[in-house]
Amino acid sequence: MALSQNLAPSGRNAVVVVHGGAGAVDRTKLTPAREREARAKLEQALKAGYKAIADGGNSLDAVVAAVKVLEDASIYNSGRGSCLTRNGKIEMDAAIMDGTTLAAGAVASITCVKNPVTAARAVMEHTHHVLLVGAGANSFARKIAPTAGLKIVEAEYFKTAHAEQNLKHYLEAEAEAKKRGGKRPSGLTTGSSQCDVQEERHEEPLGKKYGTVGAVAVDKQGHVAAATSTGGTVGKEPGRVGDTPIIGAGTYADDETCAFSATGEGEHFIRGSVGHEVSALIRHLGLTVAQAAERVVSVTLARTAGDGGLILVDANGNYAMRYNTLGMYRGVIFEDGSVKTAIYNE
C-alpha cells in the first residue's frame, strides 16, 4: 500500500503515525535490504503502538511503545545508533506530551537510559518540571529508574561502528573544508539512510539528513499524544540541543487541535515554534491537519530556509505527513490494523 507525500489530505481513521527521519534520502544508495529493514522497523513500531491501545492503554502508552522500537533499532538515529558529538560522545534528547492535560516531559543530553522516551515520560509523571538536561537528567533517571521502570545502561551501549565511521568522515570533511575555506559540513543524518557511508562522504558534505524519530497517536477516547526522540547530529558541539525536547517546537499535543512530531534541522523548528504554530493554525484558522502541515512547511520553515518533515493526527483520526526533503521514513496504522509505510513520494 503506497503513501503519497501528504498521505492523502482527507486521510482518516489513523491510530498511530510514526516517522524515522526526513532528508536527502538517495534512492540509488538505499539498498533493497536496508529499505526492507527500515520499513520493517516502522511497521513494528506501528504495531507496538496499536497493541498498546488494543490492550487497554492510552495514546501516551502507544507513542512510547512505538518510539521504543525505533530507539532500539540501530538503523535509526535515536537510542542505540545515535550520532556522536565531535568529541565522540552520545548525547540524546527526547520529549513526550499528553494532549488531554497538556502535561509534558523532556530530557536533553542524556546518556544512560536505554530508551530516552521513557526518561521523558518519567520527568512528566514524577516531577513538576518539563525539561531536565545533562548530568541532572542522568542523575534523576538513575534515581527514579526502579519506580519508573527505566533501564539504565552504559554509554557504550548506544555507540555503533556506523556512528563512529560517520563522525570520522564528518571530521575529515570539516578539515578539508577548512583547508579550502569552504562551508562547514552538515552533520544532520537519518540512521536508516546511512546505507553506505563510504559513498556518502563524497557527497556535498554528508548530505542533508535528519535523524529524529517520533510517533503521534489517538486512543479510543479521542485523546492524542506525541513523542519524539533523537541522537542529535553528527559532530555536534557538546551540549547542543535541537528542537526534539523543546515543547512547541519539535513535539506538541493538544486534544483540541492535534498531536505533532517533527524531524529536521532543529534550529529552524525552534525559531518557528513549529509544533505550536501547527496547533494555532488549526485552532484559530480552522485548518485541517493536512492544511496546517502544508502551511508550516511551505511558509513557516521556508522563512528561514529550514528543511525537514512532520507528522500529525487529530482526535478524529485525521492524519497528515509533510516534508520538503527528498524523502521521509514514515508510516501509519489504521483502526482496522492495516499498515502503510513509505520513504519517498510514493
Adjacent-strand bridge partners of 308:
264
Options 85, 100, 118, 212, the catalytic residue = 212
CA distances for 92 relative to 62, 75, 152, 207, angstroms: 21, 15, 14, 21
Our answer to whether residue 244 is catalytic in this structure is no
Identify the CA nearest to 235 among candidates 184, 179, 187, 174: 187
- Whole-number Å distance between alpha carbons of 76 and 116: 14
Answer for the pair 292, 278: CB distance below 8 angstroms, yes or no: yes
Q: How many CB atoms lie within 10 A of CB 282?
A: 23
Grid cell 533499532 is found at 73
Answer for the pair 111, 92: CB distance below 8 angstroms, yes or no: yes
* List of residues 6+ apart from 182 with CB closer than 8 A: none
In Å, the largest CA–CA distance within the chain is 59
- Whole-number Å distance between alpha carbons of 112 and 132: 14
- Whole-number Å distance between alpha carbons of 315 and 308: 24
Answer for the pair 306, 264: CB distance below 8 angstroms, yes or no: yes
**Nearest-10 crossing angle of helices 32-54, 59-72:** 150
Three cell numbers written together for 236 = 555536534
Catalytic site positions: 212
